[in-house]
């Protein structure tokens, strides 16, 4: 194909991602977004203007060479596209699916000024999926250094850090507390948004190439302490990527009735334990007829959409009415923290949004089960410290909602277990590890940290960025170039 | 994978297994628990540590076949492997020389009680133990408990062995006879038994510790399914427990939460028994 002019490129519309129809997908757990075909990917890649000073790259927490990989893609050089991608991003099939591109790379795309940005995320996913299928560009292990690193946690931060250190020739062991690696990617994010085959595919591929060992069932702080890893177990460095796994519950009456669940519990039952396949899988999961999900982040959207699907499965089995799923959020639509696409998908599937609404009490029946929820209407006042307008209760506006299940999706805090007997490892008043945001160095010698355990609940890609920066610093330390403590 | 090195049938429904888990055995202490998953389709269930051997690298578990997972576990044999064996989880029992202590074990609760009673005895306490079960068949480890107790009272609900009584009856008598002498009570068994033990000791103001067994997935504080309401707020059994002050526990809420998946449990058991019958027919 002859090289297009920029004028011609500007006339190509942004290519839509083929997706399952809303009414179909709310009845199954298969992936919603089906991915670009090679033709769609080619067409979308043609839209990139190959800016000399690309702003998109500045928006990427791991600095993916965006114009270069897109150029290779449109020239039909898939191997080149994969190689370019993997220079900066070891897990493209994952990032392409869960990164908030609209606030990172795509928002900075020059095309976004007048129209729609290049669909960078969809192209990234296309490249990542291609590589999972064809394995054209195996990661290469650097020359053996003889140094050993313990990575605690196998979510986005830990995985990224482990892979980068493996590429530098260090021996990496990942300690994971659950029975399968992936962290929030496997226990939290549902199959329909992040197929577990993709996560395991990326992890297995990288671990095989780089000789990374994964030790499941290892709760650090109990099985081994950080001090034991550094001393008795002979690791030269430790990276903590333990995430933010502790759920938050509202402090209102009734939160311990049966049928009030943390989003963590609900999603773990559905995703990691495959509860939606009960009784073929042993872990049961219940869904109410009228479900209220409290909160409006990505985790809330995931919980609401899993609830819809479980209700549909029940309809298929019993023929009864599906019921309703509500998102109950104390602020308004503008402040919703979830990724735009997730909110859009949730609405398409039939989730009902109750904005400016806050629960004040959960009611239980005589058998201790949830049978209703008292809420109060809110209005927005002056901006608070987060910059968002503060929600204020409207006096006398209480009303009762008819619900039989309540899922709390109000954010999470770091798990304190890992800090057991880790002398010198300081924490903030929020329970997060004190660590330098650039290098990941903690207050304890030879210990780095990154991701949600440092920042509190944030995004997959910001955790990957932190894992990457820490890996670079750990590498310099292991090579004797620096000794920060 | 974690190999089953030894299996012993204690009664028709109570089984003992010794599991090869050297890393867990290094650290395990009385009062802690493990999470077990049989295979790829399995659920994660908490089981208390009944014994451990650091040199052999083993953990002993004892379980009662009450649901699909424990029934399935009961069909495994020596040489079979478990997919998941996580631990040691929870806080160990706070062992001190308290003076005279009473250890009460009901049914399968005798298993986790044993290492606690042993540790208390080793710490110099005078240990009076009460063990009970519905009937003689369900009783186990009488000899083991006797070796770590200064006195042992055995009872069954139906009187088929030992004294015909619920464990609360001898507990109450001890508290009355040795008023002011008993420093602390441990009670481990079904929730309903622990509830009544708590009610028995409360008027005597004797600190009473129970080990709670709740619904749980990860065992590390992540799911919050195990939360229990205490007078001073909600706690997670997996990371704050499993032992709690019995007089602070909201027992009725605890019992209600334990029943949450009852329908599903029945369905799973029915399906399992059906499969077993088909396999038996061959």
Q: Please give the mean pLDDT across all residues of chain A.
A: 93
Residues A368-390: tens digit of each pLDDT: 999 999 999 999 999 888 788 89
Buried b (16+ CB within 10 A) or exposed e, A214-238: bbbbbbbbbbbbbbbbbeeeebbbb
Look at residue A392 and tell me whether its pLDDT is greater than 70. Answer: yes
Provide the pLDDT for residue A341. 83
* Phi, psi of A270, deg, nearest 5: -70, -50
Last residue of a domain, one of B41, B68, B89: B89
pLDDT at A478: 97
Residue B153 lies in a domain: yes
Does the pTM exceed 0.90? yes
- Does the residue B266 lie in any domain? no
pLDDT recorded at residue B185 = 97
Task: Respond yes or no on whether the N-terminal peptide bond of residue B242 is cis (omega within 30° of 0).
Answer: yes
Same domain, B117 and B224: yes
Would you call B253 and A264 a contact, using CB atoms and an 8 Å cutoff? no
Task: Find the angle CA(A127)-CA(A133)-CA(A136) to the nearest 5 degrees.
Answer: 70
Task: Find the mean pLDDT for residues A343-361.
Answer: 96
What's the pLDDT band for A484 if we cut at 50, 70, 90?
confident
Task: Using alpha carbons, select from A446, A440, A483, A474 the residue that is nearest to residue A162.
Answer: A474
- One digit per residue, the tens of pLDDT, for chain B of length 282 reads 999 999 999 988 999 999 999 999 999 999 999 999 999 999 999 999 999 999 999 999 999 999 999 999 999 999 999 999 999 999 999 999 999 999 999 999 999 999 999 999 999 999 999 999 999 999 999 999 999 999 999 999 999 999 999 999 999 999 999 988 999 999 999 999 999 999 999 999 999 999 999 999 999 999 999 999 999 889 999 999 999 999 999 999 999 999 999 999 999 999 999 988 888 886
Tell me, yes or no, whether B184 and B231 share the same domain: yes
Same domain, B161 and B220: yes
Among residues B117, B157, B109, the alpha carbon closest in space to that of B133 is found at B157
B83 with B12, same domain: the answer is yes
> What is the least distance, in Å, from the CA of A400 to any CA of chain B?
23
Answer left, alpha or beta for residue B187, where phi above 0 means left and psi between -120 and 50 means alpha: beta
As given in the structure block, the two tokens for residue A447 are 């210990």
Do B22 and B63 belong together in one domain?
yes
What pLDDT score does A339 carry?
Answer: 83
- Helix and strand numbers (H, E) in chain B are 9, 16
**How many angstroms separate the CA atoms of A402 and A289, rounded?**
10
The packing angle between helices A78-88 and A66-74, to 10°, is 170
Answer yes or no: do B182 and B253 share one domain: yes
What CATH number is associated with residue B20? 2.40.30.10
Per-domain residue ranges of chain A = 6-134, 148-245+413-478, 249-410
**Which one of A247, A256, A286 has the shortest CB-CB distance to B253?**
A256
Q: Please check whether residues B45 and B172 belong to one and the same domain.
A: no
Residues of B in Cβ contact (< 8 Å) with A227? none
To the nearest whole Å, the CA of A367 is away from the closest chain B CA by 6
Query: d(Cα A405, Cα A291) in Å, to the nearest integer?
Result: 5
Task: Find where tokens 């300690």 sit.
Answer: A175
Residue B280 lies in a domain: no
- Domain residue limits at B119: 100-258
Mean pLDDT of A224-235: 95
Q: Which two tokens stand for residue A271?
A: 């995703």
Last residue of a domain, one of B56, B89, B122: B89
Q: What's the CA angle centered on A420, arms A416 and A421, to 5 degrees?
A: 155
CA pair distance B32, A390, nearest whole angstrom: 44
| Residue B192 located in a structural domain | yes
- According to the model, what pLDDT value does residue B17 have? 97
Please state which of the ranges A245-249, A307-311, B209-213 shows the lowest mean pLDDT.
A245-249
Give strand pairing partners of A149: A172, A237
CATH (one of 3.50.50.60, 3.40.50.720, 3.30.70.3280, 3.20.20.210) for A249-410: 3.50.50.60
What φ, ψ does residue A429 adopt, rounded to 5°?
A: -70, -15
CB pairs under 8 A between A and B: 121
Which of B65, B89, B113 terminates a domain? The answer is B89
Contact A292, A261 (CB under 8 A): no
**Would residue B188 be called left, alpha or beta, if left means φ above 0 and alpha means ψ between -120 and 50 degrees?**
beta
Q: Quick check: A99 pLDDT over 90?
A: no
Tokens of B251: 């027992």
The mean pLDDT of A53-74, rounded to a whole number, is 94
Q: For residue B128, what are the CA distances in angstroms to A274, B24, B145, B149, B216?
A: 46, 30, 10, 6, 32
Average the pLDDT over A24-39 and give the result: 93
At residue B29, the pLDDT reads 94
SS3 state at B20: strand
Q: In Å, how far is A418's CA from the nearest CA of chain B?
A: 10
- H or E stretch covering A226: helix A226-230
A319-330 pLDDT per residue, tens:
888 899 999 999
Q: Residue B135 falls within a domain, yes or no?
A: yes
Class in CATH terms, A148-245+413-478: alpha beta
Whether residues B44 and A273 touch (CB distance < 8 A) is answered with: yes
A167: CB partners within 8 A, 6+ apart: A139, A140, A141, A142, A210
State pLDDT tens for residues A178-209: 999 999 999 999 999 999 999 999 999 899 99
CA-based torsion, A451, A452, A455, A460: positive or negative? positive
Confirm or reject contact between A217 and chain B (CB < 8 A). Answer: yes
B-chain residues within 8 Å CB-CB of A247? 222-224
Under a CB-based contact definition with an 8 Å cutoff, are residues B150 and B171 in contact? no
Alpha-carbon gap, residue A123 to A319, rounded angstroms: 41
CATH T-level topology, domain A6-134: Fumarate Reductase Iron-sulfur Protein; Chain B, domain 2 (1.10.1060)
What is the tally of structural domains in chain B?
2
Question: pLDDT-based confidence at A1, cuts 50/70/90?
Answer: low
**pLDDT, tens digit, 9 for 90 and up, residues B185-221:** 999 999 999 999 999 999 999 999 999 999 999 999 9
B274 is a domain residue: no
Q: DSSP assignment of A363-396, as one string?
A: EE-TTSBEEEEEEEEEEEEEE-TTSSEEEEEPTT
Nearest-neighbour CA in chain B from A217: distance (Å): 5
Backbone angles phi, psi at A276, to 5 degrees: -70, -10
Please say whether the dihedral angle defined by the alpha carbons of residues A404, A405, A410 and A414, taken in this order, is positive or negative: positive
Whether A148-245+413-478 and A249-410 share one fold: the answer is: yes
Crossing angle for the helix pair A263-270 and A298-318, to the nearest 10 degrees = 50
* HSE toward the beta carbon, residue A323, CA cutoff 13 A: 25
The verdict on B218 and B106 lying in the same domain is yes
Q: What is the pLDDT of residues A111-162, one digit of tens each?
A: 998 899 999 999 999 999 999 999 988 888 999 999 999 999 999 999 999 9
């Amino acid at each position: 194909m002859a090289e297009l002019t920029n004028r011609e490129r500007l006339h190509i519309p942004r290519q839509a991602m083929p997706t399952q129809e809303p009414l179909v997908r709310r009845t199954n757990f298969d992936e919603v977004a089906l991915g670009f075909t090679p033709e769609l990917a080619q067409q979308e890649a043609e839209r990139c203007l190959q800016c000399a000073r690309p702003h998109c790259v500045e928006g990427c927490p791991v600095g993916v060479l965006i114009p270069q990989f897109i150029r290779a893609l449109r020239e039909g050089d898939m191997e080149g596209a994969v190689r370019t991608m993997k220079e900066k991003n070891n897990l493209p099939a994952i990032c392409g699916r869960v990164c908030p591109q609209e606030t990172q790379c795509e928002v900075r795309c020059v095309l976004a000024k007048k129209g729609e940005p290049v669909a960078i995320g969809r192209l990234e996913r296309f490249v990542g999926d291609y590589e999972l299928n064809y394995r054209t560009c195996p990661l290469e292990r650097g020359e053996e250094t003889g140094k050993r690193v313990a990575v605690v946690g196998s979510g986005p931060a830990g995985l990224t850090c482990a892979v980068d250190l493996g590429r530098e020739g260090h021996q990496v062991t990942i300690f994971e507390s659950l029975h399968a690696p992936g962290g929030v990617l496997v226990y939290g994010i549902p199959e329909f948004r992040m197929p577990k085959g993709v996560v395991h595919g990326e992890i297995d591929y990288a671990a095989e190439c780089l000789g990374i060992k994964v030790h499941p069932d290892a709760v650090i702080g109990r099985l081994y302490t950080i001090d034991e890893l550094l001393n008795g177990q002979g690791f030269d460095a430790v990276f903590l990527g333990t995430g933010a796994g502790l759920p938050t519950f509202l402090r209102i009456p009734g939160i311990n009735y049966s049928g009030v669940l943390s989003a963590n519990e609900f999603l773990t039952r559905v995703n990691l334990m495959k509860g939606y396949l009960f009784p073929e899988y042993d872990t049961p999961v219940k869904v109410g007829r009228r479900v209220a999900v409290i909160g409006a982040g990505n985790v809330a959207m995931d919980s609401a959409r899993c609830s819809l699907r479980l209700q549909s499965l029940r309809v298929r089995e019993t023929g009864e009415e599906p019921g309703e799923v509500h998102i109950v959020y104390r602020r308004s639509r503008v402040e919703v923290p979830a990724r735009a696409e997730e909110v859009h998908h949730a609405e398409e599937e039939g989730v009902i949004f109750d904005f400016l609404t806050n629960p004040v009490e959960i009611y239980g029946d005589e058998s201790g089960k949830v049978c209703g929820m008292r809420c109060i209407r809110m209005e927005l006042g002056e901006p608070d410290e987060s910059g968002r307008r503060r929600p204020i209760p409207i006096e006398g506006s209480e009303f009762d909602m008819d619900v039989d299940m309540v899922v709390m999706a109000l954010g999470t805090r770091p798990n304190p277990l890992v800090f057991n007997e880790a002398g010198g490892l300081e924490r903030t008043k929020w329970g997060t590890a004190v660590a330098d945001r650039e290098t990941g160095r903690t207050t304890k010698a030879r210990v780095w940290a990154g991701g949600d355990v440092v920042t509190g609940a944030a995004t997959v890609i910001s955790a990957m960025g932190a894992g990457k920066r820490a890996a670079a610093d750990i590498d310099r330390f292991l090579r004797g170039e620096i000794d920060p403590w | 994978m974690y190999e089953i090195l030894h299996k012993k049938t204690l009664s028709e429904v109570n089984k003992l297994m010794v599991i090869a888990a050297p890393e867990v055995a290094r650290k395990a202490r009385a009062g802690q628990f493990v999470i077990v998953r049989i295979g790829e389709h399995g659920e994660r269930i908490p089981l208390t540590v009944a014994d451990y051997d650091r040199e052999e690298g083993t953990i002993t578990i004892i379980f009662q076949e009450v649901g699909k997972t424990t029934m399935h576990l009961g069909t495994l044999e020596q040489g079979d492997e478990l997919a998941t064996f996580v631990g040691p989880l929870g806080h160990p029992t706070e062992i001190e020389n308290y003076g005279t202590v009473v250890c009460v074990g009901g049914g399968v609760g005798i298993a986790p009680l044993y290492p606690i009673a042993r540790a208390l005895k080793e710490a110099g306490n005078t240990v009076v133990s009460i063990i009970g079960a519905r009937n003689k068949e369900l009783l186990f480890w009488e000899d083991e408990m006797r070796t770590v107790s200064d006195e042992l009272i055995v009872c069954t609900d139906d009187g088929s062995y030992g004294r015909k009584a619920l464990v609360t009856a001898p507990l109450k008598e001890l508290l009355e006879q040795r008023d002011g002498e008993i420093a602390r009570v441990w009670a481990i068994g079904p929730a309903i038994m622990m509830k009544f033990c708590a009610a028995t000791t409360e008027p005597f103001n004797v600190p009473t510790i129970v080990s709670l067994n709740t619904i749980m997935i990860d065992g590390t504080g992540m799911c919050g399914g195990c939360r229990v309401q205490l007078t001073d707020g909600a706690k997670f059994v997996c990371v704050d427990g499993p032992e709690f002050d019995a007089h602070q526990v909201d027992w009725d809420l605890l019992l209600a939460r334990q029943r949450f998946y009852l329908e599903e449990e029945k369905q799973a058991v029915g399906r399992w028994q059906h499969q077993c019958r088909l396999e038996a027919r061959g």
